[in-house]
Structure 1
Amino acid sequence: MIYTNVTRIKNFFILGFPGLLPQYYGPVSALLFFIYLAIALGNIFILAFVIHERSLHKPTYLIFCHLALTDLAFGTVTLPKIISKYWFDDSIISFYECFAQMYFVHFLGATHSFILIVMALDRFVAICVPLRYPVLITNTTINVLCGISWFMPISWMVGIVCHALTLPYCNSNIITQCYCDHIAITRLGCENVRAIQVVAFGLAMFSLLVPLGFIIFSYFCIIATVLRMSSSEGPMRTLSTCTPQLFITCLYYMPRCFVYLANNLGFNFSAPVRIVVVMLYSLLPAAVNPIIYCFKTKDIKETLKKRLNNRKINIDTKAC
């Protein structure tokens, strides 16, 4: 373990997965590397594919692009350092680099959550007031709303980071986590950090529960609208347009709500279990979302099939 007696430490030590034996460092780093490859390649593909295909320049797919960008950025901010730890035995992260990582971790999480509101709003208008959809939901509207989702968390995240920077840090500089987050860092402060952690927790709940509340309300309205449809096939066909959004929303919120509820109900996880759970709910959606976009979204799936069929025909023509 690494300790320092200075008031302002210069480096932090990323502990990663506590208790992991050295013989497993290689497999774990390889697994994390492949997860990062899946996140990077999948989300870059979605961004490039939607941008390239003019037929997909629609509000729903612009939202997917913003979500893909947050997923790609989150994986890039968090994974390279922990991969480096297990691959190259590089566990040291500089003081200010750690705070920068903390900022982007929480900023991107809040941004992703607010973009999910925009996605729920898109489906709410499309199903509940379909005649108004072309007027209310345009590419410009979506870009403005997603831009607000990116802009809103900036101010309070800067405040939280600057507040944490004012704390004196002494003794332990070991971060019991795979990346720098607010709780892991402020726990190392020498003074009473209860007040700053309460403020940060309140803002975290705001960026999590307010979007979740709106999403739940919007889908209740959607279900009520669908149940009032007279056609037997209409409800199922209408709900099928919400399938990708429901999968993406559940992947993001359900694990987080489970962890928060478990903590509040007195279920305490051991450090290794807690870190594994946090890594799973942080990174799994980012890796899986591109698959959902491709296989659960009709337009993307049909465009991909058309592209593949055209390529196959071109190859067969050249062969002849």
Structure 2
Amino acid sequence: MQHINITNIKHFIITGFPGLPPDYYGPVSVLLLLIFLAIVVGNAFILAVIMFERTLHKPTYFIFFYLAMIDMAFGIVTLPKIIAVYWWNDRITSFDACFTQMYFVHALGASQSLILLVMALDRFVAIWFPFRYPAVITNKAVSITCSLCWVVTFIRMLGLVLHALTLPYCNQNIITQCYCDHISVTQLGCGENVAYVKSVALVNSLLTLLVPLTFIIFSYVSIIIAVLKMSHTERHHKVLSTFAPQIFITCLYYVPRCFVYLAHYLGYSFSTDARIVITMLYSLIPPVVNPMIYCFKTKDIKEALMQRFKNRKVSIHFGTG
């Protein structure tokens, strides 16, 4: 552990994966770059499809639009620095930059939790109250709700980061993580308030995770009950076209996080490298996989893309004919 004999830390040092041998720095940096490109290109593609395909200007796809923005922003906030760590050995990040990254990491993650709640409520109303759905769930209502989720969460997370800034950071500046997050940074704090700041952050994290999850589980259980009451053909169509993509996306976000919290509650501890790998997996797999789920598991998007492709083939055929 590196110690600095000054009272104010001017910068932090990002370790990445502490146990990774230097021979693997090149391959890991390339892998992270490919993941970054997949996140940015995949989610930018989804944003463009929903933006320019008028048949997708519906509440459900507006929710997908907000999720894709969050996924792309998360990749942009977290990955460039860790890629630089392994590509150019650029491990130093300034104090202000670290706290700024921490802010966006937690604000984007918490926003995604709320957007997933909106997604579950959208499906709940669509299946239980199909005749009232067009009047209740409108494009304007969804846009306002999702925007409020962003605004409220970003304000709330500003308080979390400012609370962490009240701690003095005395003589340790090694962050054993791939990016600056609240746990990794505040454990470097000193003084008698460290435990209190961590406790407040833990309560905030549990509320961010468990309150939306409770409503999401209720919504999806209600949807399953409604689906089981339908005829086989109608049930099959409902599950594939309106339910399966949302449940996949929700599970990708919540299942790994709940596993980590449950393991911690049961007293199971991971090694430092295992903890970092698990954190990176549940942070980065959803932004990579979600665009594929949108494209291959969502009927309207598949049909819109196929129609675009067919129209392009026809125009090329006549253009060369």
TM-score class normalised by the smaller sequence: over 0.9
> 1:245: Cα distance to partner?
0.2
Q: Do the aligned partners of 1:46 and 1:290 also contact (CA within 8 Å) in 2?
A: yes
Q: Do the aligned partners of 1:56 and 1:299 also contact (CA within 8 Å) in 2?
A: yes
Tell me, in whole angstroms, the C-alpha distance in 1 between the residues paired with 2:203 and 2:72. Answer: 26
Equivalent AA in structure 2 for residue 142 of structure 1: V
1:250 aligns with 2:251: yes
**3-state DSSP of counterpart to 1:13:** strand
Pairs aligned (count): 319
> 1:236: Cα distance to partner?
1.8
Task: Give the structure 2 partner of residue 284 of structure 1.
Answer: 285
**3-state DSSP of counterpart to 1:308:** helix
Tell me, in whole angstroms, the C-alpha distance in 1 between the residues paired with 2:45 and 2:107. Answer: 23
Which runs of structure 1 show a deviation greater than 6 angstroms over 4 or more consecutive aligned residues? Answer: none
Normalising by structure 2, we get a TM-score of 0.97
Equivalent AA in structure 2 for residue 104 of structure 1: F
Task: Give the structure 1 partner of residue 210 of structure 2.
Answer: 209
Equivalent AA in structure 1 for residue 127 of structure 2: I
**3-state DSSP of counterpart to 1:233:** helix
Higher mean C-alpha deviation, range 155-164 or range 43-52: 155-164
> 1:208: Cα distance to partner?
0.7
> 1:146: Cα distance to partner?
0.3
Q: Do the aligned partners of 1:2 and 1:13 also contact (CA within 8 Å) in 2?
A: no
> 1:8: Cα distance to partner?
1.1
Task: Give the structure 2 partner of residue 25 of structure 1.
Answer: 25
Tell me, in whole angstroms, the C-alpha distance in 2 between the residues paired with 1:199 and 1:153. Answer: 16
Pairing 1:26-175 to 2, within 5 Å after superposition: 26-175=26-175
> 1:71: Cα distance to partner?
0.4
**3-state DSSP of counterpart to 2:18:** coil
Tell me, in whole angstroms, the C-alpha distance in 1 between the residues paired with 2:178 and 2:266. Answer: 25
Tell me, in whole angstroms, the C-alpha distance in 1 between the residues paired with 2:227 and 2:160. Answer: 42
Q: Do the aligned partners of 1:11 and 1:93 also contact (CA within 8 Å) in 2?
A: yes
> 1:176: Cα distance to partner?
0.4
Equivalent AA in structure 1 for residue 222 of structure 2: C
**3-state DSSP of counterpart to 2:131:** helix
> 1:160: Cα distance to partner?
1.4
Q: Do the aligned partners of 1:36 and 1:79 also contact (CA within 8 Å) in 2?
A: yes
Tell me, in whole angstroms, the C-alpha distance in 2 between the residues paired with 1:187 and 1:26. Answer: 30
> 1:248: Cα distance to partner?
0.2
Equivalent AA in structure 1 for residue 225 of structure 2: A
Tell me, in whole angstroms, the C-alpha distance in 2 between the residues paired with 1:85 and 1:290. Answer: 27
> 1:177: Cα distance to partner?
0.2
> 1:3: Cα distance to partner?
2.4
Tell me, in whole angstroms, the C-alpha distance in 1 between the residues paired with 2:135 and 2:30. Answer: 48
Task: Give the structure 2 partner of residue 312 of structure 1.
Answer: 313
Structure 2: stretches of 5+ with no match in the other structure: none
Equivalent AA in structure 2 for residue 304 of structure 1: L
Q: Do the aligned partners of 1:25 and 1:87 also contact (CA within 8 Å) in 2?
A: yes
**3-state DSSP of counterpart to 2:124:** helix
Tell me, in whole angstroms, the C-alpha distance in 1 between the residues paired with 2:2 and 2:83. Answer: 20
Structure 1: stretches of 5+ with no match in the other structure: none
Task: Give the structure 1 partner of residue 267 of structure 2.
Answer: 266
Q: Do the aligned partners of 1:14 and 1:91 also contact (CA within 8 Å) in 2?
A: yes
Q: Do the aligned partners of 1:294 and 1:301 also contact (CA within 8 Å) in 2?
A: yes
The one-character-per-residue Cα deviations of 1:35-72 (angstroms, maximum 9, x if unpaired) are 00000001111111111111110000000000000001
**3-state DSSP of counterpart to 1:171:** coil
Tell me, in whole angstroms, the C-alpha distance in 1 between the residues paired with 2:17 and 2:243. Answer: 37
Equivalent AA in structure 1 for residue 111 of structure 2: T
> 1:85: Cα distance to partner?
0.6
Pairing 1:211-230 to 2, within 5 Å after superposition: 211-229=212-230
C-alpha RMSD over aligned residues = 1.0
Task: Give the structure 1 partner of residue 181 of structure 2.
Answer: 181
Tell me, in whole angstroms, the C-alpha distance in 1 between the residues paired with 2:52 and 2:211. Answer: 34
Quote the sequence identity (%).
60
The one-character-per-residue Cα deviations of 1:224-283 (angstroms, maximum 9, x if unpaired) are 112222x23112211222111010000000000011101110111000001001000000
> 1:318: Cα distance to partner?
2.8
> 1:172: Cα distance to partner?
1.5
Tell me, in whole angstroms, the C-alpha distance in 2 between the residues paired with 1:142 and 1:156. Answer: 21
Normalising by structure 1, we get a TM-score of 0.98
